[in-house]
Structure 1
Amino acid sequence: MRRHELSDAEWELLAALIPSACRGRPRAEDRRVINGMVYKIRTGVSWRDLPERYGSWKSIYTRFRRYAIAGVFTRALQQIQAQADAAGDIDWLVQIDSTIIRAHQHAAATGRKGGSTGRTNRNDHALGRSRGGLTTKIHLACDGRGRPLAVLMTPGQRHDGICARPLLERIRVPRAGLGRPRCRPDHVIADKAYSSRGFRAYLRKRGIGHTIPEKSDQKRHRQNRGRRGGRPTAFDSEIYRRRNTVERCFNQLRGFRGIATRYEKTAASYEAAVTPASLLLWARSI
């Protein structure tokens, strides 16, 4: 095992989740190709600069793009989540938050004139203008042990409150046996950016408990309305102390240099890079 490569235990866990070739000529060794992808994500090097020990960079890049478009990484992440859920290893006290990722100039030069078409180019490749320049925002939902359950990519200027509902709807943990995937957390913890009547009503409708602090202007507006303003929102400060779990999860993801700075040109490729990194966080904890 070399630096930035999968350990034997990690590969043993991930090998069963990688689709095998059914026909055609023999392809490159799966472990060597996956190690090349992991090396790229962990170091942030360009595809052409991958070490020769991983084989042709074109083969690795082609396999990566094929897996990204086919959703292979997403299904693999759901399978490993399903195994953890069957063992009772998932803490459904879910935290949500977002982080802004600066786009490298190679990624920022993508598709600024031609507009966006198709699934892989949605929202202009999830590139937006914010205080830091051209950026992408990663919205993350993690379990109580700091492991990613769902990820959503948007342009950097997109408000967190708008993306809260789509993010939670991306949580789909398949059952080990029969039954629908589990999509509903027991409890949600979020910061003030997610404080809105609409989001609280959505959580109540789904029967999800929540701990979200109320903004000072919302509290003042409610108090000024008197009885018509309604009751104060419930808030448990002890539960809210656990919100740092999602921050630690972001720190682990940013440990991958290919995630901490966006080098990928398309939103689909960048999301496909975040998903294997999430897979590795799960593999380390099992």
Structure 2
Amino acid sequence: MGRGELTDRAWARIEPLLPPVSGRGRRWRDHRQVINAILWKLRTGAPWRDLPERYGPWKTAHERLRLWTADGTWQRILDEVIVKDDSVGEVEWIVSVDSSVVRAHQHAAGARKKGAVPPRSRNAVEGEGLGRSRGGLSTKIHLAVDGRGLPMRVLLTGGQAGDNPHLMPLLDAIAVDRIGPGRPRCRPEVVIADKAYSHPSTRQAMRQRRIRFISPERDDQIARRAAQGARGGRPPAFDAEVYKRRNVVERCFNRLKQFRDLATRYAKRAAYYQAELTIAAIILWLR
């Protein structure tokens, strides 16, 4: 086992969730070798054609990434890993959310608008998730993590997109199935967010969902409420001690961006870049 490759323990968790190696037609190249090839690409950020010979043909690894992105295999693996941890009570439902902008390499631009096969996962990205700002092309990663800082859901938008409008879609994507009967769990106990998510409509939506929302109020909102006097109402409740736990989402971003292929976006298709984020999330859960 080389550096950064799947451990025996991680492979034992993943192997039952993958399609069979042999079936109708030619026998597939060993799944573990191909996944290790994809992990090498994520870790180094090198072009596919520079893949070392020990991992086999680079086209095989790229094609496997494409196929399993289209049929939702990566997302199913992540879901199963989270379900297994939740069944033994290890998932902490104190969810922290934040976003991070990733610079898109010039090779990430120019994807063909026709002929792309959109993924069938529930996290499918509309468009290619690229935005243009003063810094050039960029993509914004919206991330929700549990209380231990492990990624629950990832959402991609253009780099110029705001944080607050994408909070509810990000939380709506969280759905952890049960081992036995029962509906998936979708509602966190607490959601922790910074000032970018502090908005009256967001707080009202959280109250309707019976989710405790902890986010500091912005200065302009405080001034507006003070100007209204008694009609401004009371300030929203804020627990400073619980808010200190928000740093887990920042640490998760740091761990994700240790994969150099994620720290800078090289993939033309947003679906492939999101699949790479999902694969990195799987590795973090299996460590």
Give the equivalent residue in structure 1 for 2:278: 275
- Structure 1 length as normaliser, TM-score? 0.95
1:242 alignment partner AA: R
Q: 1:131 to 1:115 in 2, by over 3 A?
A: farther
Q: Can you list the C-alpha shifts for 1:232-255, whole angstroms capped at 9, x where unaligned?
A: 100010011111110000000000
Task: Specify the alignment match of 1:229 in structure 2.
Answer: 232
Which aligned pairs between 1:92-111 and structure 2 lie closer than 5 A? 92-111=93-112
In 1, Cα distance between equivalents of 2:36 and 2:107: 24
Tell me the equivalent position of 1:60.
61
Q: 1:104 to 1:217 in 2, by over 3 A?
A: same
Distance in 2, Cα, partners of 1:20 & 1:224? 66
Question: Which residue is equivalent to 1:205?
Answer: 208
The ranges of structure 1 where at least 4 consecutive aligned residues each deviate by more than 4 angstroms after the TM superposition are: 114-118, 120-123
Q: Could you tell me the percent identity over the aligned residues?
A: 50
Do the aligned residues in 2 keep the contact of 1:146 with 1:249 (CA within 8 Å)? yes
Q: Is residue 2:252 matched to residue 1:249?
A: yes
Q: Which residue of 181, 186, 192 corresponds with 1:183? A: 186
Residue type of the alignment partner of 2:8: D
Q: Quick check: 1:116–1:125 contact (8 Å CA) kept in 2?
A: no
**Deviation at residue 258 of structure 1 after TM alignment:** 0.8
Amino acid at match of 1:72: T
Structure 2: unaligned runs, 5 residues or longer:
none
Taking the aligned partners of 2:115 and 2:127, their CA distance within structure 1 comes to 5
Matched, 1:135 2:166: no
Q: Secondary structure at the match of 1:91?
A: coil
* CA–CA distance in structure 2, aligned partners of residues 190 and 117 of structure 1: 35
Other-structure match for 1:18: 18
- 1:125 Cα deviation (Å)? 0.4
Could you list the runs of 5+ residues in structure 1 that have no partner in the other structure?
Answer: none
CA contact (8 A) 1:95 1:245 kept: yes
Separation (CA, whole Å) in 1 of partners of 2:154 and 2:238: 26
Q: Secondary structure at the match of 2:128?
A: helix
Query: 2 CA distance for matches of 1:169 and 1:125?
Result: 21
**Is the 8 Å Cα contact of residues 256 and 281 (structure 2) preserved in structure 1?**
yes
What is the alpha-carbon distance in structure 2 between the residues aligned to residue 119 and residue 3 of structure 1? 33
CA distance in 1, matches of 2:266, 2:274: 12
CA contact (8 A) 1:115 1:124 kept: no
Shift of 1:13: 1.8
- The C-alpha deviation readout for 1:71-127, integer Å capped at 9, x for no partner, is 11001100000000000000101000000000011102335xx59987469543000
Q: Which residue of 2 aligns with 1:33?
A: 34
SS at match of 1:137: strand
Query: Partners of 2:9 and 2:204 in 1: how far apart?
Result: 44
In the other structure, the counterpart of 2:127 is 124
Q: 2:266 — aligned with what?
A: 263
Aligned residue identity for 2:268: K
